[in-house]
Amino acid sequence: MSTSYGKTRWKRFALVMVPSVAATAAIGVSLANSALAASFAVSGQQFKVTVDQLHGDNFSQFGGVDMQADGKTAHPVAISAFDTARLQNLCQSVVTDLGPLGKWTLVLKAGDSPDEAKQVHAQQLLIDMNQLNADAEFHSINIGQDAGTLQGSAIDKLKNDGGKVPTGAQGFAQSAKSADLSKVQQTAWATSAGTFTLPGLSLNITQGANECY
């Protein structure tokens, strides 16, 4: 199936970049062009994110590469873009090894409310991930689209920030009018947004590896 219309539901959605050959080709082209998925060099530390419910409008996804500050270390990623997104019960964690002090975890939480107005809201959201598990439902989805034809304010932000989108046979992508994900567990290298509103924000640093999942 290369194209599907209406509602498409996938259980345990894990980097829906199919077929894998196309995704690998997209990553290879990005490496060759030294393409950045975002306008900054990543730290080299991954972080974990959980969300109870995520609703996003004008969703798109394609392959890319995040580079570390040394300019030599590359991390292949699947870039998910949403023009707007609403997230319920966001948890984000990153573990840092401080040598003789041991491991410490920074945990950020926000938007733990059934009231949509008090949930986390983002505009022009870009997520550079390498792992994702969730229950997902997509509306009016196109699979196998040329990434160069993707449109939306999140894609415009990526390009304005100096990012590149692979095109042609190597630019395998998918897009949907909207997406609903639940029980999200995600590992990412970077997240960026035009605006990020976090009601009820709390941030804690605890000793040990106490990640969101």
- Number of helices (H), then strands (E), belonging to the chain: the values are 2, 9
Cα 171 → chain centroid: 17
- Which pTM was predicted? 0.83
* Calpha distance 93→187 (Å, rounded): 10
Each residue's pLDDT expressed in tens, for the chain with a length of 213 residues: 333 445 666 555 544 443 334 444 444 444 444 444 555 678 888 999 999 999 999 999 988 888 888 888 888 888 999 999 999 999 999 999 999 999 999 999 999 999 999 999 999 999 999 999 999 999 999 988 888 899 999 999 988 887 778 776 567 889 999 999 999 999 999 999 999 999 999 999 999 999 999
How far are the Cα atoms of 35, 44, 120, 190 from residue 40, in angstroms, in the given order? 11, 12, 23, 9
* Calpha distance 58→174 (Å, rounded): 11
The letter for the amino acid at 131 is Q
Which residues are 59's β-sheet partners? 82, 176
Residue 56 structure tokens: 């996003």
The 3 state secondary structure assigned to 126-181 is EEEEEEEEEEEEEEEEEEEEEHHHCCCHHHHHHHHCCCCCCCHHHCEEEEEEEEEE
* Calpha distance 165→150 (Å, rounded): 9
DSSP result, 72-100: S-EEEEEEEEEEEEEEESEEEEEEEE-GG
What end-to-end distance do the CA atoms of the chain give, in Å?
33
Cis check: omega of the bond before 19, within 30 degrees of 0? yes
* Calpha distance 47→102 (Å, rounded): 18
Residue 81 structure tokens: 């873009």
